[in-house]
Chain A
Amino acid sequence: MLSPGLLSSWRHYQRHPWQLLLLLLGILIGVAVVGAVDLVNQSARDSFRLANAQLLGRTSHQIKGQSPLPEALYRQLRTELALSAATPLVSAFVKDDLGQGVVLRVIGFDPLVGDPLAAEPLSRGLDRGRLNPPLGLMQLMMAAGGVVLDTRTARRLGVGVGDRIPLITATGRQSVQVLSLLQGDDPRSNNLLLMDIGQAQQLLGLAGHLTQINLIELDRQQQSRLRAWLPKAYQLQTAQQQRQATAGLTDSFHLNLSALSLLALVVGLLLVYNSCHFSLIQRQPVFAQLRALGVTAAELRRAILWEILAIATIGSLLGVLMGIGLAQLLFGLVVQTLDDLYLSNPINRLFISMPTLLKSFMIGIGGCLLASWQPIRQLSRITPRQSQLRYRQEIDAARSRSYHCYLAGGLLGCSALLSLWRDSGLIGGFIAIACLLLGIALITPMLVAAITQALSASVLYPQQLRLPLVRMALRDCGRSLSRTGVAVMALMIAVAATIGMTVMIDSFRASLEGWLQQRLSADIYIRRHQPLPGSARALPPELIAYARNHPAVETLATVKRSATTLNGRRVEIVSSNLPEAMQRGYRFTAERPAIIWKRLQGRDQILISEPLANHWRLQTGDSVELQTGSGLQPFKIAGIYQDYGSDNGRILIPEARFETYWGDSRATGMAVYLHRPADVDRVIAEIQQHVGLAHPEQQSGQQQPLDVRPGARLLQRSLAVFERTFLITDVLRLLALGVAFIGILGALMALQLERQNELHILRSLGLTAFERAKLLLYQSALLGLLAGLIAIPTGHLLAWLLIEVIHLRAFGWSMSYQPSISAALSGLLLSVSAALLASLWPAWRFGRYTHRPRTE
């Protein structure tokens, strides 16, 4: 037998199933969004960690160099230094040529010495169960292009044992043959092609070279001995250092996701609070009656707690399930973005981690309990007479408003402080954002009340208009805030986030576009088609000479891109002959360009990009040590240039200087500047024709074909990638808005339920169905309008924080903040339409109302 409290809850929801539905939906969506983003974030991180684990295993140290290591180094380690802990590895990314474009990682290892995933010689393992069919060493070692891959990857590629997989590698088109399939579900083997080291060298054109040498459990003495022995061109890194060096690559991406996860969390929790709050406040008369009948406060509290717990459990469970589905959707977008930006995401599967699911589940339960704590406390204190008074609730709400005011002031102050205090870092920036949103959200009900009051005052007295409905709607807005306040907050936050993101992205786009236009000022760009990152090969010198001597060509800039490390962080290094036309494409953060370019002529001078300068807090004139072909070398910073091309940072260095320190500076690309007027298409056609005649091998498909593009096209493509990057943020913003939408729907439905008596009066006073519906629509539109209006300055503040605090602290990018009227207007429109849309159904019910309260 249910307790009277629970029984009355059950009956309540039986009579108002939509209310239970909305309550569940609110919890469900909140939990789902939080869980999904968390899962995606976690998966992206796990993927990254696992991708590292593919290469590192249980390695404690590794030896790497600027370019692939000569394998003689490994021989010496084993035969002279007797380092049996050393294992050789060859690895590279390839793409399948089956039309799916899956990024795969080839790992060539010596199965006699170490298995890249387990870091122990396989010969000891004899673990035959994992391979189907079992595979002898001889087959793996001797079968040309023989690979082992896991069943999941094979299924994805649609291949089986014995099939050949055509691949696009850095050296051109190749194919490998599946020898055996790895059983089991080790996520590390995802998208991995395991090969014998010799076969991998052949496939990747790395004969005589190793990508890295892993060292397992190197003791102190071995470390120092190795360090002393190791030629300067190579570094002994700890696995930790290695992880850090590549971590920067996707940091920026996680950051975006984290920001959105935060948003989802705030909105989700608000909604959970909202839903709980409603269902309790609405039943206050029932609770009052129960109290009057002799149910003790403690009994009532317990009953309500059980009810909340039951609903929270169901809602959170469903939310977790939906979160998994949602995560799948989001993860697709994340993978797409990572592929676009970094081409380095070999593991693309969603890891459904129990702790993460549990976390979002607990957030749901905890949020519900937290949200219901205050109403429950109030309920059990209230006397039966008080609880029947609707206006008392409004008085209570008004009283808590002043408390909210202080809280909001504190939050906003905190936000301002953190955004100005640079050392608070990225975390500080995020807290500043959270404080800003919450602070403004807290005072939103007050603002709404103040505005409606002001409006009703001004609207009341010029009495010519047909006002009663408008006035009632206005009054309703102001007076029903104990019901609608939280929904308005949620809507405001969602709309502010939309405006903020739009303004930020617009500002970003404008800065990027300006930058690209200036930087991509050449008429034609030529490089080898680069199917994989870091795989660029030198252009044929004859082609460079041809272009240089072409009558239409004014100037030719040759460029080589490669990588080095600065303080252990991987950075891109660009060497170029830097003709004047190219110099014009650079904008500096300070000083006149002419001075900087002149300074660059000096000994060991380099230019660094702004993100790099910001990351290490470097300034012009500072000295930095770069890893060169002959060990660490000091360089001086001649200037800092703006750059959005790489969040990890770039270094620009004159060709001759690059050659001195790194050797081979053969250009991998060139930019062609034509005489004016220029017929770009004709010159491109001529270059392509020349390539076809002089370098037939370039087009044969064995080699990487040449990519000849007009500058304008490159610009378009860059912007397209930019747009795709923000696709996922669109989805999440939409979700936050959806959550707010449901909040409003729930709030209006609850209001409608409460106003049945009022409706009856309105009916007897002669309000038509349409007028009654209009009353609710007005009210809703007004709420949407006010939320939207408050969201406009909030959104702009948010954008400012994103641009001036988050992006600067995270990526070192500076961009000009551009307030946007169109973003403000569309945000307003969004807010009003969301609110109106949410009120359609309640309004329809409001109009159709036929219930007659018995008055006898």
Chain B
Amino acid sequence: MSILRLRHLYKSYRNGQVVVPILQGLELDMREGEILMLLGPSGSGKSTLLNLIAGIDAADAGAIEIDGTSISALNERQRTLFRRQHIGTIYQFFNLIPTLTVLENILLPLQLNGRMDERPRALLQMQRLGIEQHKHLFPEQLSGGEQQRVAICRALTHRPKLLLADEPTGSLDLASATVVMQLLLEQVREFGQSLVLVTHNPQITARANRLLRLDQGLLVEA
């Protein structure tokens, strides 16, 4: 069963008079539970690809199908509601809502989906990630590593089928990065989630099911 299928994906940006092609007929098939890691130099289109998959941005051409739903056929609102239920995202920075506490941040996606009684689950997950003692703090009171753990915790607690992570440990020191990444991968495996991970960390890439490189707007085996 395929969790993510990309067909003939095209995307370009207009920068003044110049059209910059980013994706040029990209194709991908991803199995459920697969951990897929994405390499590529800066500006090769990794973040763009993740945004397209998350439905935050729309492709110029091509089809995106997630868990059997063709999201390229959905409108903005439908894409948003689909994302709310099925996709989790983790970015390098600014993952958390500053006006909500750590616990509230973690509960937010669940509550958006109408799941109000998930507090125990969230606390359990926090315990696993070692951030339980921070539950009533605000994000800005945490260190960068702690913030990223909260973001991961949120993505995992919500348990979306597909997780998109864009260099989630890129801003952390090596030691913290390794710890955080370990946790992420463990949990993903445990819950059977699928993960698309953009990373440059060679220690991590070893643990991928599949390692792909974005090159000239196409995905190639690394």
Contacts and interface: CB of A to CB of B under 8 A. Distances in A.
Interface of A: 389-391, 463-464, 466-468, 471-472, 475-476, 479-480, 757-758, 760-769, 852-856
Given A764-B83, A855-B93, A391 B98 contact: yes
A766 B109 contact: yes
Contacts of B93: 757, 855
Nearest to A772: B80
Nearest to B168: A855
B92 interface: yes
B104 A471 contact: yes
Interface stretch (B22-30, B66-74, B111-119, B202-210): B111-119
A758 B117 contact: no
A761 B96 contact: yes
A853 B94 contact: yes
B56 A472 contact: no
B80 A855 contact: no
A760 B80 contact: no
A766 B112 contact: yes
Nearest to A754: B98
Nearest to B41: A856
Contact of B81 (A471, A762, A766): A766
A280 to B, nearest CB: 20
A757 B140 CA distance: 13
Given A391-B140, A468-B112, A764 B97 contact: no
Given A468-B112, A764-B56, A855 B97 contact: no
A855 B171 CA distance: 10
B12 to A, nearest CB: 15
Contacts of A479: 99
Nearest to A765: B109
A436 to B, nearest CB: 33
Of all A-B residue pairs in the complex, the 9 with the closest CB atoms, nearest first, are A766-B84, A757-B94, A391-B140, A463-B116, A766-B83, A764-B89, A468-B111, A855-B92, A475-B99
Contact of B98 (A466, A467, A758, A763): A758
A856 B99 contact: no
Interface in B38-59: 42-43, 46-47, 51, 54, 56-57
Contacts of B116: 463-464, 467
B109 A761 contact: no
11 contacts: A466-B111, A466-B114, A467-B116, A471-B104, A758-B94, A766-B80, A766-B85, A767-B112, A769-B76, A855-B166, A856-B92
Contact of A472 (B94, B96, B97, B117): B97
Interface of B: 42-43, 46-47, 51, 54, 56-57, 76-77, 80-85, 87, 89, 91-100, 104, 107-109, 111-112, 114, 116-117, 138, 140-141, 166-167
Contacts of B117: 463
Interface centre among B81, B84, B141, B166 (most CB of A within 10 A): B84
Given A468-B107, A758-B99, A761-B94, 19 more contacts: A391-B140, A463-B117, A466-B114, A468-B112, A471-B100, A760-B94, A761-B96, A761-B97, A763-B80, A764-B83, A765-B83, A765-B89, A767-B80, A768-B77, A852-B57, A853-B94, A855-B92, A855-B93, A856-B92
A768 B84 CA distance: 9
A746 to B, nearest CB: 20
Contact of B167 (A466, A761, A767, A856): A856
Contact of A768 (B46, B47, B81, B97): B81
A472 B117 CA distance: 18
Given A767-B112, A769-B76, A855-B47, A762 B91 contact: no
A472 B100 contact: yes
Contacts of A767: 80, 84, 112
A579 to B, nearest CB: 75
A852 B22 CA distance: 16
A554 to B, nearest CB: 76
B108 A765 contact: yes
Contacts of B138: 391
A465 to B, nearest CB: 8
Nearest to A755: B98
